[in-house]
Structure 1
Amino acid sequence: MGGGVSKGNEEATTMSTATNGNGPLEGRVVAVAGAAGPAGRAALLRLAEAGATVVAADADAARLAEAVDAARYAHGGATVVGDTVDLLDLGATRAWADRTEKEFGRVDGLVHLVGGWRGSATFAETDLADWELLEKLLIRTVQHTSLAFEAPLTRSGDGRYVLISAAGASRPTAGNAAYAAAKAAAEAWTLALGDAFRKAGGEAGPPAAATVLIIKALVHDAMRAERPNAKFAGFTDVKDLAETIVGIWSRPAQEVNGTRQWLTPRP
């Protein structure tokens, strides 16, 4: 998963060729936080292919530009823009959400792919500096994107907040205490957002949905090329993750909201 903590200048690029106009997400606007890593690139490509207007953010401006360009040129007519945002700054994150809604008239999704990992050989060797970093990357960014996008997603009438989490949060190992704890906290925060959507909808059902997609780890073509004999058992291909993300809009908000969806066998 990509990073999403940075400051920089906005970069926006839009394709000029025609689209077929019949994708399953045609007319929807989806923001992707942490868009420049392999999972982010796959998500941008699939969302663009599905007809969504895609608003991408990442810490690495150069990699973000490459990811945006790849999605733009892969799918004629798709609108894909890149914006560097400091997701550790709540004000900057709110400004990103407000700017996106103002420019495109709506926000129908926030896909949170901001990642990071630190671990140790044993529990006793855990470095609390790892926790300080992971708390920022894996929790603080979720807090800020969820607070910033709650209102736009609610106004959409069919909004989706999607967090990518890890199976390790449900079965922490000795050397992954900081990582597992951060992921578990991020999941809890996202499910609390889902409860807010539930309460906002009352008897009519939630106007938007928050959900957690749980993986063991991700794999992509470059990893397979580097390790052709590896099995990657239980790993989720980034293309399959992207397909799952797109499919979340095909299900009613009430069915999706407040759920933890396993893309790998449960531990």
Structure 2
Amino acid sequence: MSARTQEAKTMNKGSLDGAVVAVAGAAGPAGRAALLRLAEAGATVVGADADVARLAEAVDAARYAHGGATVTGETVDLLDLEATRAWADRTEAEFGRVDGLVHLVGGWRGSATFPETDIADWNLLEKLLVRTVQHTSLAFHDVLLRSDRGRYVLVSAAGASKPTAGNAAYAASKAAAEAWTLALGDAFRKAGGEEGPQTAASVLVIKALVHDAMRAERPNAKFSGFTDVAQLAEAIAGVWDKPAGDVNGKRLWLTPAP
């Protein structure tokens, strides 16, 4: 039996049951939704964020919603490569494996016109949206390869493929993060050899996110084309439902491609 066939059989039994998934940026609305969905699917979920109080709330909410689920959280400086490597190593040592890293570290800065772009926005977004991807991918590369269903999932924006004048810094940051993640996917492809990749790096592409608090603040807004954080969480979990070769090195569009 080939490794690819074995992987498919494993997925049919439950793609996240017993899996260990790390979530970077777990305290935000998208992170909270991901913790809930992954725990519901049977995964042990290990969240990380820079905001201690919000992370504790997110972890408690996931635990409460799914009694018996193992959901933990810790403060990790993802701008520190060695600290990020230590997080990956601790997670594998404690739980025996790591089957996924979901990257949900976000941020946005923009301007009214292109000439008004503030380079300080790029400096910030490069750290939040690019550097954290570099560090998490480097830190979790080896541990994900040791999994029989390893996945690295980045959430990106359609603007990376069709930048607008006022979003130069944001679009460039997202495009860089996508390119880095697709390079990780190529590494996974090469590691798979003739059998094909057994570990995958995927990019989920949205227009923008919406959640209940945003709707409450703007009750008359339509949020046309936005992806609800619960829908995003469903798509994240769905990355494990397909063989690695079908999602590795791919942009998976949750909004129409530009």
Over the matched positions of the two proteins, sequence identity in percent amounts to 83
Q: Tell me the amino acid that sits aligned with residue 244 of structure 2.
A: A
> 3-state SS of the aligned residue for 1:30?
strand
**Structure with greater helix share of residues:** 2
1:207 CA displacement? 2.1
Name which of 133, 138, 144 aligns with 2:129.
138
Find the counterpart in structure 2 of residue 112 from structure 1.
Answer: 103
Name which of 92, 97, 110 aligns with 1:101.
92
Matches within 5 A, 1:152-163: 152-163=143-154
Matches within 5 A, 1:63-212: 63-212=54-203
Distance 2:249 2:61 in 1: 33
Find the counterpart in structure 1 of residue 8 from structure 2.
Answer: none
Alignment CA distance shift 1:117-1:55 (3 Å): same
Matches within 5 A, 1:44-55: 44-55=35-46
Distance 1:118 1:176 in 2: 7
1:238 CA displacement? 0.3
Distance 1:175 1:225 in 2: 27
1:266 CA displacement? 1.6
Superposition TM-score, scaled by structure 2 size:
0.94
User: Moved runs in structure 1, 4+ residues, more than 6 A?
Assistant: none
* Cα RMSD (Å): 1.0
Structure 1's unaligned 5+ residue stretches are: 1-21
Structure 2's unaligned 5+ residue stretches are: 1-12
> 3-state SS of the aligned residue for 1:211?
strand
Contact residue 170 and residue 184 of structure 1 kept, 8 A? yes
Distance 1:127 1:164 in 2: 24
1:59 CA displacement? 1.0
Q: Tell me the amino acid that sits aligned with residue 72 of structure 2.
A: V
Q: Tell me the amino acid that sits aligned with residue 161 of structure 1.
A: Y
Name which of 247, 253, 258 aligns with 2:238.
247
The number of equivalent residue pairs is 246
Name which of 210, 225, 232 aligns with 1:219.
210
Distance 1:52 1:158 in 2: 12
